[in-house]
Amino acid sequence: MATFKRTGTLKGTDTLDTVIFSVDLPADISYTVKATGGGNNKLRVRCGQKLVAIWAQIHDFDVEPGQTKTRSFSTSIDGTTPTNDLKQDIRIRLSRPVLTEQIDWELTWTVG
């Protein structure tokens, strides 16, 4: 199993950060998102995988300030994955409403 970590800050006009990575198929993916900040800043998390020409959504949830949430899923070679190299592209988008305060985020994911 390999574990990876990214951090970032959403502030000012920056309302969206996107983390894209590829995994070897088949894969079990678990990821944890931590949000820090104050007030009613909700960090929106959307996870998807590339299918043909679109990103198919897997998860869509909010993380309250000071909270951590974990999600898991599996992906395999099933005829819908447009791959010749046995890899799958995964995208995790972290966003906030434009009129909220700064949100620091931490994303950790494990691929097995």
pLDDT value of position 82 = 59
The two tokens of residue 40 are: 């009613």
pLDDT, one tens digit per residue, over 29-77 is: 999 999 987 777 899 999 999 887 788 999 999 999 999 999 999 988 7
* Element holding 108 (H helix, E strand): strand 103-111
Quick one: pLDDT band at residue 79, thresholds 50, 70, 90?
low
DSSP 6-46: EEEEE-TT--EEEEEEEEESSEEEEEEEEEE-STT-PEEEE
Question: What's the pTM?
Answer: 0.90
Q: What length is written for the chain? A: 112
Share the mean pLDDT of the chain.
90
Average pLDDT over residues 14-36: 95
Residue 90 CB contacts under 8 Å (≥ 6 apart), including other chains: 20, 21, 22, 23, 29, 47, 48, 49, 50, 75
* Domains identified in the chain and CATH numbers: 2-111 (2.60.120.260)
Quick one: pLDDT band at residue 13, thresholds 50, 70, 90?
confident
